[in-house]
A and B are shown apart, each in its own frame.
Chain A
């Protein structure tokens, strides 16, 4: 009975005990979770404290800072509580924890000594260039020890007391360090401000104050950008991490490795490093554990740390094909989300465009409006800053001008600086552009070209994307054209080339930058050779493109226009393409072009504009906004396209007759018959139509073997006058069925023509199949009327040719002469 009575009590007590156990387990788990969270918070705070402008840039690494993503799954044993490595007995546990803590304590003591001695020897920042606090590494030491300390988790009183005391010690050390850093910073600020005062003082007296004030405003904008080229990257990051990042990103950029490949490489490297570290010892030191746990895992933050991406602006382009107006984004403070106008602001002859520019996109639950068509523009100033920061390059760029100051001006020209253009190029002050030593004076050549980014094998779809690029001519010729020294300015999106003057919208940001570069110039806060900053002026002296792109860029009409030349006033009607009297040509001048372009731009209706263009052949170009730009001289004729792809190609394919174009091949012989007799001019329209028909047939591969009757019928359907004249031209006689016939009719002439064709083919002694296999086109069997008319005998027909051997082709070609 008592038992029964006890049961509910026991039950209760058991229940209590169970509950207590549950609670204990739960509270342990909760504590663990809180500890984890606290640790995470602590680390976050540690990284934000350390990442100020003295220690390093916010993006660079602090181990355990924002940079790394969480380590991949299946990571290392350090995440498992250290207690797991200790023996389960409580006494042993306590002993182990205490010994651990004493290790940490001794390290802390050592650190304390180091800090004290270093602080005594800490010098004031001597120069303005000291951008990082010299004792930064001690901060890191402190942080590591803190992390180690936090890993010792226990509620045992002795352990916690010891832990707390060590913690207090560490806190004192870090406070000391922080204080000294603040004073150091203040001293540096003072130094900066005093230097700045000197700077403006000197400039003021030389009278250039206005320019420099303006530049000073700009320099404030650019200090952050340029300084970033001089800040060391990956400061404080463990060398193993540094090398891993370098390896993986190098593979990504140069070999084109995908992100998945990078992730794989990071994981493998981490594993490799772990194996190396564990070779000699079974366990890992806390430092090693930290190293492995903080191993970089994602290539994207790694790329950011290496600061590879250049500054760029994405413009919204009006999707309307006749508009292409560009719109610059604005940003609200502290937000990377660009804000564009909703509708196009372009105006055409007074009428607003108002095309919709944006479309919505869902990013992490928020709706962001992004442009339908975008133009990526890479900041030229940023690029130039990076070039000027490169060791040794600035000196080489400045040295290029020495070729223009040589007293001995020899006749030979070895580089573009020897050419008349750069020998005589004047700056905004009227003096030679390159003869100003204090300022950086650099010249560029601009190129625009379109290409198909999809490989040409993709059938049907043809997309055209444009590239705007710059080359700095000051660089020595052997490095000037290396991809790392060429500036990619912008990418014009497809799907087609921008028509007519719409290309100008893509040049607007570039011209804006170059206007700044010309006057008042851009002051870079620091360059390789000038640690306190330098004013830089630049100019575009050369536009290098193929003919169609060059015409569009510079505002001239295409070469099919009546005013087909951008350099002189030759027209198709009066001179034609083949005129060679160069002395009689009247050159265009810069003033004429500017005036014509202005008229074009100010036209109020489309017809007015078209009329202006028709009379001058000049349209508006953004480049004309540059005050020094002379479109008649700066736009070069590209020798590559003109000479190789143009003249030599044309000569060999069309004049010598070596046909290379697979697409234009016909499968058989084609005889280029050419009627030039003046009697054709007096024909009626219907007769002219018949003439064209006949010409078309004669030029085709006539299958006279099989279709003789059909061809005969076809020919005889043509008008008599046409047939008679044709026979006369080609020198073939009509073939009447009966020789006694006096009046010849159509079929007689038709028979004559057909037999002429047959004879031509038979004399060549090859079948249609043979010809197509040899793959030549007898296009230049251009039967010149005059030459053919003379000898009307059998000898005029082509002798039996030998198809093998080039010489034989000529004998066929010109056989009618012999």
Chain B
């Protein structure tokens, strides 16, 4: 009888991920990013609707990425992967600053999540495909980075301008970064401080 209470009890005692320490503990096993974890926190999904209500830029993006436009999709405002919450920029700008792993490069690039879309997967009937629509920060032109001499701090300066909308699978999300601005050589630049738990990232790439 008491075992039937388990789900209710779990909700009662489950601590929320409120600070770095708990995130440390919870995120310990979070090596693999599991798309099924979208259910960790209720994603506040809008009901599945026809794609026509999505913005044009997003539709174009989906078309480019998939080659076709699905008939219905839903957008999420936040997504939880391995205990960490990522959200769209309009909801929480801090949680939308992410570092993306690009397949072609060994380092990750900063980007901002604009949308999170979910639709039925063509390959897998029961599966759901979740993608993030991001805008990457542009690189600076020929400017020396004052942080480059301190590589272990994993901080870089980037341009504040954002690029075009791109779709990426959620598996390419590496981690969050803290975003600040400063005046450097006459220009307002964005300072990216990686919040990756593994330091330094480049070493782990080299050794693997």
Asked if A and B form a direct contact in the complex, defined as CB atoms under 8 angstroms apart, the reply is: yes
Contacts A250-B12, A254-B13, A412-B204 hold; do A477 and B29 have CB atoms under 8 A apart? yes
- Which residues of A670-698 are within 8 A (CB) of B? none
Question: Separation in Å of the A239 CB from the closest CB of chain B?
Answer: 4
Q: Which residues of A contact B208 (CB under 8 A)?
A: 412
A239:B1 contact, CB within 8 angstroms? yes
The distance in angstroms between the C-alpha atoms of A481 and B23, with both chains bound, is 12
A481:B25 contact, CB within 8 angstroms? yes
Chain B proximity mask over A561-573: 1 for CB below 8 Å, otherwise 0: 0000000000000
- Which residues of B1-26 are within 8 A (CB) of A? 1-2, 5, 9, 12-13, 25-26
Chain B proximity mask over A463-488: 1 for CB below 8 Å, otherwise 0: 00000000000001110011000000
Contacts A254-B12, A254-B13 hold; do A246 and B29 have CB atoms under 8 A apart? no
- Which residues of A552-607 are within 8 A (CB) of B? none
The distance in angstroms between the C-alpha atoms of A239 and B4, with both chains bound, is 11
Q: Which residues of A contact B204 (CB under 8 A)?
A: 412
Which residue of chain B lies nearest to A245 when distances are taken between CB atoms in the complex?
B2
A interface bracket (residues with beta carbon within 8 Å of B): 10 to 19
The size of the chain B interface, using a CB distance under 8 A, is: 13
The distance in angstroms between the C-alpha atoms of A167 and B57, with both chains bound, is 85
The distance in angstroms between the C-alpha atoms of A254 and B26, with both chains bound, is 21
Question: Separation in Å of the B10 CB from the closest CB of chain A?
Answer: 12
Give the interface centre of B1, B207, B208 by most chain A CB atoms within 10 Å: B1
Question: Separation in Å of the A72 CB from the closest CB of chain B?
Answer: 24
Q: Which residues of B contact A410 (CB under 8 A)?
A: 207
Question: Separation in Å of the A410 CB from the closest CB of chain B?
Answer: 8
Question: Separation in Å of the A447 CB from the closest CB of chain B?
Answer: 16
A246:B25 contact, CB within 8 angstroms? no
B5:A243 contact, CB within 8 angstroms? yes
Q: Does B28 contact A (CB under 8 A)?
A: yes
Chain B binding surface SS class:
helix
Contacts A478-B26, A478-B29 hold; do A246 and B2 have CB atoms under 8 A apart? yes
Q: Which residues of B contact A477 (CB under 8 A)?
A: 25, 28-29
Which residue of chain B lies nearest to A482 when distances are taken between CB atoms in the complex?
B25
Question: Separation in Å of the A308 CB from the closest CB of chain B?
Answer: 13
Which residue of chain B lies nearest to A247 when distances are taken between CB atoms in the complex?
B5
Select A243's contact among B2, B25, B207, beta carbons within 8 Å: B2
Q: Which residues of B contact A411 (CB under 8 A)?
A: 207
Q: Which residues of A contact B13 (CB under 8 A)?
A: 254
- Which residues of A341-358 are within 8 A (CB) of B? none
Q: Which residues of B contact A254 (CB under 8 A)?
A: 12-13
Q: Which residues of A contact B207 (CB under 8 A)?
A: 410-412
Q: Which residues of B contact A250 (CB under 8 A)?
A: 9, 12
The distance in angstroms between the C-alpha atoms of A243 and B1, with both chains bound, is 7
17 additional contacts, CB 8 Å, given A254-B12, A254-B13, A478-B29?
A234-B2, A242-B1, A243-B2, A243-B5, A246-B2, A246-B5, A250-B9, A410-B207, A411-B207, A412-B204, A476-B28, A476-B29, A477-B28, A477-B29, A478-B26, A478-B28, A482-B25
Interface residues of B (CB under 8 A from A): 1-2, 5, 9, 12-13, 25-26, 28-29, 204, 207-208
Instruction: Give 27 pairs: A residue, B residue, CB < 8 Å, sorted on A.
Output: A234-B2, A239-B1, A242-B1, A242-B2, A243-B1, A243-B2, A243-B5, A246-B5, A250-B9, A250-B12, A254-B12, A254-B13, A410-B207, A411-B207, A412-B207, A412-B208, A476-B28, A476-B29, A477-B25, A477-B28, A477-B29, A478-B25, A478-B26, A478-B28, A478-B29, A481-B25, A482-B25
